[in-house]
Chain A
Amino acid sequence: MHQETDPVRILVADDHPILRHGLRKLLEEEPGFSVVGEASDGTEAVRLARALKPDILLLDLAMPRKGGMEALRELADSTENTRIIVLTAAIDKAQLVEALQLGARGVVLKNSATELLVESIRAVMRGECWVARETVGGLVQALQKLMPSTRSGPRNTFGLTPRELEIIETIVAGYTNKDIAYRFSISEQTVKHHLTNIFDKLGVHNRLELALFAINHRLVGDA
Chain B
Amino acid sequence: MKFGVVVFPGSNCDYDTYYVLKEVLNQPTLFLWHKEPDLKGVDCVILPGGFSYGDYLRSGAIARFSPIMPAIVEFAHKGGLVLGICNGFQILLEAGLLEGAMLRNKNLKFLCQHVWIRVENNQTPFTRKTKKGQILKIPIAHFDGNYYASSETLDKLNRNGQIIFRYCTEDGEINERANVNGSMENIAGITNKAGNVLGMMPHPERASEVLLGSLDGLAIFQSIINS
A and B bound?
no
A contact set with B: CB distance below 8 Å: none
